[in-house]
């Protein structure tokens, strides 16, 4: 057998990448073009991406660096305590993200959040918000409030979290606050979340531009037929065939 050869017939064993099954590539491409035009046009008007998230107190067990041959045990809790957080980020100043916590997220609480956003930009003629098409984002009372506050709403295509950079901020938050962390009380959980947005994020915001930006990930539709994903059994078959070839073995002749 040839030494150092690691060819697996062009295959590697890894996790598949999930994509929303209803997303529409054409509409995503149209939004990206709309965003580029907006960005070029409104040089003195802020563009913010907004979203809501609902983290729970339950321990979020995740991967990490653990010494080979050892396991790491982490206390867990099944607490259902959940926070309702709404955030907005300007990609030019990630550390100054606007974040509010509410008892629930609906068109009424979002009106209050829009007012908070306007207070951050009192001198700006117009503010542009990019948001998904959730029902409360399209509620008539919220749309009227946006007009009153001179906020223009730009809706993302359906099933397009890849086009909302604030989703990446939620991932960073989990890395700093929730991953492999046990919270003994709801109060401790809330305080850790608040500390991240009020203290940690302003310090690390400038270092996040390579992760949180408008270099949108363009999704490719998943095929429901052959995805190029092979089971361990098929991979072993390919490897065995490779060994046979390397050793110069010939299959037994049929009598």
Per-residue confidence (pLDDT) for residue 23, from 0 to 100: 65
Distance CA(26)–CA(31), nearest Å, equals 9
Per-residue confidence (pLDDT) for residue 224, from 0 to 100: 47
Write out the two tokens for 215: 């270099």
Q: What is the tally of helices (H) and strands (E) in the chain?
A: 7, 5
DSSP conformation letters of 116-128: HHHHH-TT-S-EE
Per-residue confidence (pLDDT) for residue 59, from 0 to 100: 79
Which sign, positive or negative, has the C-alpha torsion 122, 125, 129, 133?
positive
3-state helix, strand and coil shares in percent for the chain, rounded to the nearest 5:
40, 15, 45
Per-residue confidence (pLDDT) for residue 56, from 0 to 100: 94
Q: How far is CA 77 from CA 50, 137, 175, 180, 227, in A?
A: 30, 33, 18, 11, 38
User: Cα dihedral angle (118, 121, 124, 127), rounded to 10 degrees?
Assistant: -50
Per-residue confidence (pLDDT) for residue 248, from 0 to 100: 60
187-196 pLDDT, tens digit per residue, is: 999 999 999 9
Per-residue confidence (pLDDT) for residue 68, from 0 to 100: 79
Task: Give which of 82, 59, 52, 14 is closest to 167, Cα–Cα.
Answer: 52
Q: What is the pLDDT along the chain (255 residues), one digit of tens a residue?
A: 444 445 566 666 655 555 555 668 899 999 999 999 999 999 899 999 999 999 999 878 777 676 777 666 667 777 889 999 999 999 999 999 999 999 999 999 999 999 999 999 999 999 999 999 999 999 999 999 999 999 999 999 999 999 999 999 999 999 999 988 999 999 999 999 999 999 999 999 999 999 999 999 877 665 544 444 445 555 555 556 665 555 665 555 444
């Amino acid at each position: 057998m040839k030494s150092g050869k690691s060819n697996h017939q062009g295959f590697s064993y890894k996790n598949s990448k999930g994509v929303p099954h209803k997303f529409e590539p054409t509409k995503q491409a149209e939004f990206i073009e709309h965003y580029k035009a907006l960005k070029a046009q409104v040089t003195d008007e802020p563009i913010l991406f907004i979203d809501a998230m609902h983290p729970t107190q339950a321990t979020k067990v995740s991967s990490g660096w653990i010494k080979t041959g050892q396991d790491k045990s982490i206390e867990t809790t099944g607490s259902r305590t959940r926070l309702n957080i709404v955030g907005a980020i300007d990609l030019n100043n990630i550390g100054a993200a606007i974040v509010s916590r509410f008892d629930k997220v609906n068109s009424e609480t979002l009106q209050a959040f829009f007012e908070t956003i306007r207070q951050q930009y009192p001198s700006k003629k117009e503010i542009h918000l990019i948001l998904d098409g959730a029902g409360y984002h399209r509620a008539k009372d919220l749309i009227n409030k946006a007009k009153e506050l001179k906020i223009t709403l730009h809706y993302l295509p359906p099933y397009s979290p890849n086009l909302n950079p604030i989703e990446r901020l939620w991932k960073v938050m989990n890395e700093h606050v929730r991953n492999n962390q046990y919270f003994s009380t709801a109060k401790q959980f809330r305080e850790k979340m608040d500390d991240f947005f009020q203290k940690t994020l302003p310090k690390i915001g400038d270092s996040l531009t390579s992760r949180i930006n408008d270099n949108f990930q363009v999704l490719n539709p998943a095929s429901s037929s052959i995805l190029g994903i092979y089971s361990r059994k098929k991979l072993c078959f390919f490897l065995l065939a490779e060994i046979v070839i390397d050793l110069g073995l010939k299959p037994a002749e049929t009598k």
